[in-house]
Amino acid sequence: MKALLFPLGLLGLIALGRLLSLAEAEPPAASTSPFAGGRWIDLTHEFAADTLYWPTAQRFQLEVESRAMTPKGYFYAANRYRASEHGGTHIDAPIHFAEKGKTVDQLPVDQLMGPAVVVDVSAQAAADADYQVNVADFEAWEKAHGLLPQGIIVLLRTGYAKRWPDPKTYLGTEQRGAEAVPQLHFPGLHPDAARWLVAQRSIKAIGLDTASIDRGQSSLFESHRILLEQNIPAFENVGDMSLLPATGAHIIALPMKIKEGSGGPLRIVAWVPGAL
């Protein structure tokens, strides 16, 4: 009988504690987040005057409208921004290279979120600025980690994010204009691997930490065309992925919702399980 009374007494005390807590108007903790037990890593470069763009594209500009006290006695800051869609950390919407592909506002948000894998080719990319990630790189990854899961977001880590925003080492040239385009040197995805991903696997989206999913020396942009024709968007100029595990990260990549946009600024973050 004593053994039964004890737990009832304990429950009573807990109930009393809750009542007292309400009486003191102590707000309860927010309900458990689906992302408890992990942390967020921001994979987005800032938009600023030195943000890298294609040599022929309009760079980012911020025009200050106000950053001062007003006559009414309060501080007020506001700016205007302008840029090309395809610079900085951004998304290529399918229509960028596919006439019937989706515009950026037509991409469903659940295609831009979900579990991700990281294929690390930073050693190859460090040795060869014209490196193309090929089927063998994916096969090696699968040998270690299992087949690419259906609906996965694939991230290619070339290590180039650490060179950002130095145009000479990140793009291969600090020159601007059409004459600079043949001097672009940075790694990308080989068209054979793009075809393999489209035909043999089922991915939601792909991203990498260089300026383009096709390498700098590409002139036909075949990997773009292969992926975007299948409505698989590409995230470009993604930030440093060195803290992401090969599997287990969760990506949320939300672009500016530009109506009929061929792409645009992207905020991309990764949730990684475990403490810092």
Site for a second copy in 100-139 (CB under 8 A): 105, 108-110, 113-115
Residue 200: other Cβ atoms inside 10 A: 11
38-77 residues near a second copy, rule: CB under 8 A:
40, 42, 44-48, 57-58, 62, 65, 67, 69, 72, 74-77
Task: Establish if 151 lies at the interface with a second copy (CB under 8 A).
Answer: yes
Distance of CA 114 to the CA centre of its chain: 11
**Toward a second copy, which CB reaches closer, 7 or 73?**
73
**Toward a second copy, which CB reaches closer, 7 or 108?**
108
CA distance 180 to 141: 35
| Beta strands at 90-92 and 263-273: parallel, antiparallel or unpaired | antiparallel
Task: Establish if 193 lies at the interface with a second copy (CB under 8 A).
Answer: no
CA distance 165 to 163: 6
Among 52, 83, 133, 189, indicate the residue that binds a second copy (CB under 8 A): 83
Task: Establish if 29 lies at the interface with a second copy (CB under 8 A).
Answer: yes
> Judging by beta carbons within 10 Å of its beta carbon (0-12, 13-18, 19+), is residue 248 exposed, middle or buried?
middle
For 89, 95, 116, the CA distances from 107, given in Å and listed in that order, are 17, 11, 18
Task: Establish if 254 lies at the interface with a second copy (CB under 8 A).
Answer: yes
Q: What are the residues whose beta carbons fall under 8 Å from the beta carbon of 246, sequence distance 6 or more?
A: 117, 118, 119, 120, 141, 144, 145
- Which listed range, 7-15, 170-178, 181-189, 248-256, lies at the site for a second copy (CB under 8 A)? 248-256
Task: Establish if 6 lies at the interface with a second copy (CB under 8 A).
Answer: no
Eight-state DSSP code of residue 8 = H
For 100, 196, 229, the CA distances from 190, given in Å and listed in that order, are 23, 10, 16
Query: Do the Cβ atoms of 132 and 212 come closer than 8 Å?
Result: no
- Which listed range, 123-131, 145-153, 178-186, 190-198, lies at the site for a second copy (CB under 8 A)? 145-153
Task: Establish if 240 lies at the interface with a second copy (CB under 8 A).
Answer: no
Task: Establish if 176 lies at the interface with a second copy (CB under 8 A).
Answer: no
Task: Establish if 99 lies at the interface with a second copy (CB under 8 A).
Answer: yes
For 8, 243, 270, the CA distances from 38, given in Å and listed in that order, are 36, 13, 10
Local structure of 172: helix, strand or coil = coil
Rg (CA), the chain: 24
Among 220, 274, 275, 276, indicate the residue that binds a second copy (CB under 8 A): 220
Task: Establish if 262 lies at the interface with a second copy (CB under 8 A).
Answer: yes
**Toward a second copy, which CB reaches closer, 3 or 77?**
77
Task: Establish if 84 lies at the interface with a second copy (CB under 8 A).
Answer: yes
Among 4, 5, 259, 276, indicate the residue that binds a second copy (CB under 8 A): 259
**Toward a second copy, which CB reaches closer, 78 or 144?**
78
Distance of CA 120 to the CA centre of its chain: 15
**Toward a second copy, which CB reaches closer, 129 or 161?**
161
- Which listed range, 4-12, 130-138, 147-155, 230-238, lies at the site for a second copy (CB under 8 A)? 147-155
Among 13, 14, 126, 147, indicate the residue that binds a second copy (CB under 8 A): 147
Query: Do the Cβ atoms of 209 and 158 come closer than 8 Å?
Result: yes
